[in-house]
Amino acid sequence: MGCEIKILSHASLLVKTETSSIVIDPWLVGSCYWRSWWNFPKPAFTESDLEHVDAVVISHVHWDHWHGPTLKKYFKGKAVVTSEDPNLRSEHDLRSMEFNDITRLSHAKSLNIGDIKVTFYNFGLFLTDSAIVIEAGGTTILNANDAKIAGWPLKQILRDHGPIDFALRSHSSANTRVCYEIPGDKSFVSDDREHYFRSFKLFMDVVKPKFAVPFASNHCHLNDDVIKFNSYISNPIELRDYVEALNSELDWNLKVMLPGSTWSSNCGFSFADEACFSDSENYIKKYLEDVNDRLAVSRNRELNLKINEKVIDRFRSVLKKSGAINCKAKVRFLITNPDGPCESLLFNEGTLVKTGIISETPEKGTSTIVIPNIIFRDAILKNMFHHAGISKRCRYLAYDSSDMNVLKNFVGKLERYELTGDIYIPYLKRLAFSYSGRWRELFVYAKALYLLKFKKMELHYIEEEILK
């Protein structure tokens, strides 16, 4: 029995046999992260691609993988398979949308969906991401998406499932590092664009798949306040050029499969047009014209949104529950709408007060977080500070490296609260159970901690070191 795969969008993959069909991480409509992220190229699928899907498989809770509008529009009533995350956020949100057939797979556990076998390998200290192995019709696919799985956990996958036919992995920036700035320090570098190419290659050198596919990175930014970040996004054509320029012998073949690209065990590859990347400036200009009405609606909503006392009081509660209240930090929240600053709050070592609006430029000892009003409100009322940063619509400004460390610690507590919630006994029990099967991961963290504390390496370089 043969296998067919089709790339639907940024991180969405359709896998079919003659009798079974699954779709992974579908984001097929609209935008995510408060109109910041858009699929680029646009999704490529037909209604017939989706009508016989037996289950939706979700790797993790980030919105470009766990996309509520897509799930509601195309997959209502379908079975959902996701990871056994100690944080129950994903399951609760799915049930609130009336998804009732939910299977949570623990680490290294498998589920047969018809004649397709799915195995989850969970990874991530606070956010449980998952590399997913799909075995269908004699073909083995490792969908690593955003999971930075490496070391012994990666070797476990290769031991249990190798050799790998297709390995799919991200190849570009999707993090918040580029949003951190020290305005007075031109030498401060928040990210290394080529790091993502190096880590992609190192990963594939370990996995040695028949085909390596750049994946889960094909998006763009269209909102006014984030369009500049398109320059940080590395497209798969650049990755292919990078690999070819190395002029080295590889144990794998790189295949650029944009949305609409397919492979089947009977017919081989069919590749989508790559023109969107050779003329990306004009493509994005046309994209902006296509979605301008939707961006205008969002702009008007933000212009008219007010941050009331209920939201501020709730924020005080979040500060307390997250542990951020105990930080020896002085942080100004400059809340904006599309016309500019509209509110200002000052957190000063445990207290939060309204202040007059001043310049966003940080002062010694006082950092600044510039955040749109809609994101500030949702981050508080819907517990989304972690997602707030990923939007890239926030800016984190510090006076110097010392203040930057304090700021990162403060923001880190708010973000971890979204991922872990209140640290209470049931959560700790779920966490302990999760790591009983993920013990190999602890050795990765031990090495990472050593490199961070004693070698003073940045996290993204630590990833490369562990992959080596």
- Work out the pLDDT band at 46, boundaries 50, 70, 90: very high
- Work out the pLDDT band at 358, boundaries 50, 70, 90: confident
The single residue listed with the structure tokens 């508080």 is 380
In 20-115, beta strands by DSSP E: 21-24, 31-32, 37-39, 55-57, 79-83, 102-105, 110-113
Average pLDDT, integer, range 16-30: 97
In 265-358, beta strands by DSSP E: 268-270, 330-337, 340-348, 351-354
- Residues 246 and 210: their CA atoms lie apart, in Å, by 19
- Residues 135 and 32: their CA atoms lie apart, in Å, by 30
- Work out the pLDDT band at 87, boundaries 50, 70, 90: confident
| Mean pLDDT rounded to a whole number for the chain | 94
- What pLDDT score does 421 carry? 78
Amino acid at 160: D
Rounded to 5 degrees, φ, ψ at 206 are -80, -45
| Per-residue exposure over 409-442, b if at least 16 CB sit within 10 Å of its own CB, e if not | ebbbbbbbbbbbbeeeeeeeeebeebeeebebbe
pLDDT in tens, 175-184: 888 899 999 8
CATH code for residues 309-420: 3.30.1050.10
Average pLDDT, integer, range 444-454: 94
CA 364 to mean position of chain CA atoms: 32
Q: Is the CB of residue 305 less than 8 Å from the CB of residue 371?
A: no
CATH superfamily of 4-291: Ribonuclease Z/Hydroxyacylglutathione hydrolase-like (3.60.15.10)
- What pLDDT score does 382 carry? 93
Q: Is the CB of residue 34 less than 8 Å from the CB of residue 26?
A: no
Q: Is the pTM of this model over 0.75?
A: yes
% of residues, the chain, pLDDT over 70: 100
DSSP annotation string for 26-51: ---SSEETTTTEEESSPP---HHHHH
Domain boundaries, the chain: 4-291, 309-420, 425-467
Degrees to nearest 5, angle at CA 451 with 448 and 455? 170
**Strand pairing category for 262-264 and 395-397:** unpaired
Instruction: Name the burial class of residue 46, with classes exposed (0-12), middle (13-18) and buried (19+) by CB atoms within 10 angstroms of its CB.
Output: exposed
pLDDT in tens, 197-226: 999 999 999 999 999 999 999 999 999 999
